[in-house]
Structure 1
């Protein structure tokens, strides 16, 4: 009888430890928040957003649990902040897991970028980036 209680106690502790590790951010290999395209990664609404900002093209890669998210029906608007300067751009789908805009953009160290991304059937995500 005592052995059964000890076994249940050990199982309960193991369950608590597993839950705590998951809550602390150990979501598995598909959710590691590392850049895959040389950009800056931020997470919002259980998705990863990777911003790749160049002077002539800005790309936003969307990943859902490590896999490219569908971009059909997705809309996104960027706001770029450089000190007191503010500019905006609209992103359009450019392939699986990718939104893009072309133009002339002032992107340098210190530029702050706010992306408002709306996915069909989901709450809009407000994603913030700081260019390094």
Structure 2
């Protein structure tokens, strides 16, 4: 077998194996938005960002169940075009929230640093 054929065959085998392996954890829960936002999973926690012009909410779910955010904090950097806005989210019932005036549009990017139980996580979103 020629070296280029061997390389192509090995690449195909590895790609098929990686595809078949799938995600390394059990997906007994869905990663779908429950509040009309954008969902991203980081370290087995689902973060759902709901960004509107007057309110930004961040919902956290641990394996499909709402996470306790009573002592959580979050700092969000919102990027819309060339505009950058820093937002502090605070506990509001079962979510983290900030009210005010926010420039949000499809394609806006947001980076949140969320601290729960003293452990920070960085979460990146692209709004739809």
**Separation in structure 1 between the aligned mates of residue 103 and residue 115 of structure 2, nearest angstrom:** 24
Match of 1:7 in 2: none
Q: Give 2:113's match in structure 1, choosing from 89, 95, 116.
A: 116
TM-score (norm 1): 0.76
Q: Which runs of 5+ in 1 are unaligned?
A: 1-19
Aligned equivalents of 2:124, 2:23: Cα separation in 1: 22
Structure 1 or 2: larger helix share?
Answer: 1
CA distance in 1, matches of 2:24, 2:80: 32
Match of 1:130 in 2: 126
Deviation digits for residues 49-97 of structure 1 (CA, Å, limit 9, x no counterpart): 000110000000000000000012111011000122100110000112x
Aligned residues: 109
Residue 25 of structure 1 deviates from its aligned partner by: 5.2
Moved over 4 A (4+): none
- TM-score, with structure 2 as normaliser: 0.79
Match of 2:69 in 1: 71
What pairs up with 1:1-132 in 2 under 5 angstroms?
Answer: 24=23, 27-30=26-29, 32-96=30-94, 98-122=95-119, 124-132=120-128
> Structure 1 pair 84/128, CA: closer, same or farther in 2 (3 Å)?
same
Indicate the structure (1 or 2) with the bigger Cα radius of gyration: 1
Structure 2: 5+ residue stretches without partners: 1-19
In structure 1, how many angstroms separate the alpha carbons of the residues matched to 2:71 and 2:24?
30
What residue is the counterpart of 1:9 in the other structure? none
Relative to its length, the structure with more strand (as a share) is: 2
